[in-house]
Amino acid sequence: MNSLLVIAGGFRMNMKMLGTSAWFLLMAVIQPIIFATIAYYMFRSGGRSGTLLYASLGAGMMGVWSSTLFGSGGMIQWQRWQGTLELGAAAPPSMGLVYLPFSLANSFTGMYALAATLVWGRLLFGVPLHFVHPWLFLLSLPATVAALGLMGLVLASTFILYRHANALSNLLEYPVWIASGLIFSTSLLPGWTRPISWALPPYWGVLAIRHAALGGDVWGPLAMVALLGLACLVIGFAMFRVFEHFARARATLSLT
Amino acid sequence: MAVIEAIELRRTYRTSTGVLRRKPLEVEAVRGISFAVEQGELFGLLGPNGAGKTTTIKMLITLLLPTGGHARVLGVDVVDNPREVRKRIGYVFGGDRGLYERLSARDNLRYFAELYGVSGKTQRARIDEVLELVGLKGREQERVEGYSRGMRQRLHIARGILHDPEVVFLDEPTIGVDPVGARELRTTIADLIAAGKTVLLTTHYMFEADALCDRIAVIAKGRIVGEGTPEALKAGVAEGRVTEIDAFGVDEAAVARLRAIDGVTAVTVEEHEQKQLLLVQTTGDRELTAPLLAELDGFEVGRVFSREPTLEDAYIALVTAE
């Protein structure tokens, strides 16, 4: 019960902070327009039924991943600069639990990017919004976003120990877009990359979302999203535990 | 049983210098200190910058692992069972940082109340209570980014005591706060003791330590160089006297000559823009004004007077003797 209160409190607090950031609000409007435009022009020539929606969903998921990736790593850096990282570390709950809601809040703001991408695609380019399984779509979307948030937790843990883990964040944006099939189908990639795709929650997430929208098996990919999300949760908590211990030994929690 | 116990506590920081050929570097911040704080006591750790005060506090509140020795808070080892320690302590760091700037004071406190398991039923009342205690009632809906330093410091204290901890660690809580704000904060700290809390306070300000602390440990270069009640520490230098000399342009060589005078135990120089204030501590009742002025021959000297030692003099004597 206490853990749920910590998660709910952290989530609410982080959403409130994001809502007060003018820069964040500006990006929240501009970024989906950029993604919707990319999706439209990339797939306009395809001409097949459902291609535009396929591309728009992928573009929206690109926004979710970017938000998770930079938000999760950035939150630890930002808390270190602000002097609040030590407060989280010295609180009674485990550090993983303290920062889980922050990571989830970041990915759920990405969900807004996906919705906005679809709306802008519809308004600017006439992308049809017809979903084959609307209820499964509404289930797949938050499940995928939550799994991405848990993946963000694993990434955030590295920032506890390494003050300049930004390089890792920068490195991971495009490869994950490509390996997860957000921009184009992974069938175009070399065969050896397939296991990498399978290990990524966004690969299964966008598959579930696209199948829910355009038709196909939703439950299989959704089960993989849940499984990989759970694995990320376990790995994330374990890494926070280990890295927190190292950070206490090496004194890397604060800047002073 | 002591509420806070440090036994031969040590902390060494390992770092490196150089870019291509990295050279390992070890800095001994705390070199085996021991002290004990009893229930309901306000214990002060006094020392210059870099003496090891903050490192000591960070080990006691479980933010840093000691590299040697042991520490227990409320009988719980800070290394073996950090979570249990964290539940039962509160801590406050001085300075501007450590608050969620874009949130209001109430939202900041609400978040920490949830982290520390202050239940939903009592949360609102408790937040109101601590806001009242630190004098922020009425301003709690404003964003912290618009707060003055004193208000931030009071909010730090409110956060530190929100979950009603048994032990409170205060690391330079009045640093950078204006005199009126600092006085209000000292009243708040005194209220904590009146409420039965055990407090460990670090500070630079002698009068603050003198006014608040039951006992003081003076720490210099990672070691405790003196410990006792403020009166006992003052008594340590009470047999001597302090001569204050206003001077201009006195160099290191002249200061060294003053230190070499028989009967002089310590000399410190405070720079006040153009003017220097020389604080010369002497043993016994010997009158040393004449030999002191003789060594300052050639320098411009202003006001000279002799007085009884204060806690600050005791502190200077202990720190400079190290």
- Supply the pLDDT for residue B128: 94
Q: How far apart are CA B130 and CA B135, in angstroms?
A: 8
Most confident stretch, B66-80, B113-127, B247-261, B264-278: B66-80
In 3D space, the residue among B286, B290, B304, B299 whose CA is nearest the CA of residue B254 turns out to be B299
For the CA atoms of chain A, what is the radius of gyration? 18
- Chain A hits for B81, CB-CB cut-off 8 Å, are none
CB-CB: which of A16, A17, A248 is closest to B63? Answer: A248
What is the least distance, in Å, from the CA of A106 to any CA of chain B? Answer: 17
CB-CB: which of A17, A250, A256 is closest to B103? Answer: A17
- Supply the pLDDT for residue B292: 87
Q: C-alpha A115: how far from its chain's center?
A: 14
A92 — pLDDT class (breaks 50, 70, 90):
very high
pLDDT over 70 (residue A48):
no
Q: How far apart are CA A108 and CA A19, in angstroms?
A: 13
The DSSP line for A187-235 is: GGS-GGGHHHHHT-HHHHHHHHHHHHHHSS--HHHHHHHHHHHHHHHHH
**CB contact (8 A) between residue B120 and residue A8:** no
Which range among A23-37, A91-105, B182-196 shows the weakest confidence by mean pLDDT? A23-37
Percentage of chain B exceeding pLDDT 70: 97
pLDDT over 80 (residue B316):
no
- pTM confidence score: 0.82
Cβ-Cβ contacts under 8 Å for A136 (sequence gap 6 or more) = A208, A211, A212, A218, A222
CB-CB: which of B13, B62, B110 is closest to A251? Answer: B13
Q: What is the mean pLDDT of residues B47-59?
A: 90
**CB contact (8 A) between residue A87 and residue B98:** yes
What is the least distance, in Å, from the CA of A12 to any CA of chain B? Answer: 9
Q: What is the pLDDT of residues A191-214, one digit of tens each?
A: 899 999 999 999 999 999 999 988
Tell me the sheet residues that pair with B15.
B25
In 3D space, the residue among B107, B108, B113 whose CA is nearest the CA of residue B90 turns out to be B113
Q: What is the pLDDT of residues B256-298, one digit of tens each?
A: 998 888 888 888 888 887 788 888 888 766 778 888 888 888 8
**CB contact (8 A) between residue B114 and residue A86:** no
Q: C-alpha B2: how far from its chain's center?
A: 21
- Supply the pLDDT for residue A67: 81
**CB contact (8 A) between residue A17 and residue B64:** no
**CB contact (8 A) between residue B115 and residue A16:** no
Q: What is the pLDDT of residues A17-45, one digit of tens each?
A: 887 777 777 776 787 778 778 777 777 76
- Supply the pLDDT for residue B104: 94
pLDDT over 80 (residue B309):
no
Give the mean pLDDT of chain B: 88
Q: What is the mean pLDDT of residues B133-139?
A: 88
ipTM: 0.83
CB-CB: which of B14, B63, B114 is closest to A89? Answer: B63
- Supply the pLDDT for residue B285: 67
pLDDT over 70 (residue B205):
yes
- Chain A hits for B111, CB-CB cut-off 8 Å, are 9-10, 13
Tell me the sheet residues that pair with B224.
B219
Percentage of chain A exceeding pLDDT 70: 95
What is the strand order of the sheet B241-248 is part of? Answer: B264-272, B275-282, B241-248, B300-307
**CB contact (8 A) between residue A91 and residue B86:** yes
**CB contact (8 A) between residue B98 and residue A249:** no
- Chain B hits for A9, CB-CB cut-off 8 Å, are 110-111, 113-115
B321 — pLDDT class (breaks 50, 70, 90):
low
pLDDT over 90 (residue B81):
yes
In 3D space, the residue among B271, B201, B281 whose CA is nearest the CA of residue B238 turns out to be B281
Place of tokens 């730090």: B156
CB-CB: which of A6, A86, A92 is closest to B87? Answer: A92
**CB contact (8 A) between residue A98 and residue B65:** no
Which B residues 154-183 touch A at CB under 8 Å? 159
CB-CB: which of A10, A82, A90 is closest to B62? Answer: A90
A4 lies within 8 A of chain B by CB: no
pLDDT over 90 (residue B141):
yes
**CB contact (8 A) between residue B116 and residue A21:** no
**CB contact (8 A) between residue B114 and residue A10:** yes
**CB contact (8 A) between residue A21 and residue B95:** no
B139 lies within 8 A of chain A by CB: no
Q: What is the mean pLDDT of residues B83-109?
A: 91
- Supply the pLDDT for residue A1: 52
A-B interface: how many C-beta pairs under 8 angstroms?
80
Angle of CA points B306, B312, B313, to nearest 5°: 45
Token output for B172: 């330079």
Q: How far apart are CA A6 and CA B141, in angstroms?
A: 22
Q: How far apart are CA A244 and CA A241, in angstroms?
A: 5
**CB contact (8 A) between residue A21 and residue B102:** yes
Q: What is the mean pLDDT of residues A186-195?
A: 89
What is the least distance, in Å, from the CA of B55 to any CA of chain A? Answer: 10
pLDDT over 90 (residue A97):
yes
* Run of H or E including A82: helix A51-82
- Chain A hits for B57, CB-CB cut-off 8 Å, are none
Mutate to test the interface with A, among B74, B100, B112, B163 (most CBs of A within 10 A): B100
- Supply the pLDDT for residue B72: 96
Q: What is the pLDDT of residues A240-251, one digit of tens each?
A: 999 889 888 888
B34 — pLDDT class (breaks 50, 70, 90):
very high
A46 — pLDDT class (breaks 50, 70, 90):
low
Which B residues 64-83 touch A at CB under 8 Å? 64-65, 83
Which A residues 210-249 touch B at CB under 8 Å? 245, 248-249
**CB contact (8 A) between residue B95 and residue A93:** no
- Chain A hits for B100, CB-CB cut-off 8 Å, are 13, 17, 82, 84
pLDDT over 60 (residue B238):
no
B145 lies within 8 A of chain A by CB: no
- Supply the pLDDT for residue B280: 87
- Chain A hits for B114, CB-CB cut-off 8 Å, are 5-6, 8-10
A50 — pLDDT class (breaks 50, 70, 90):
low
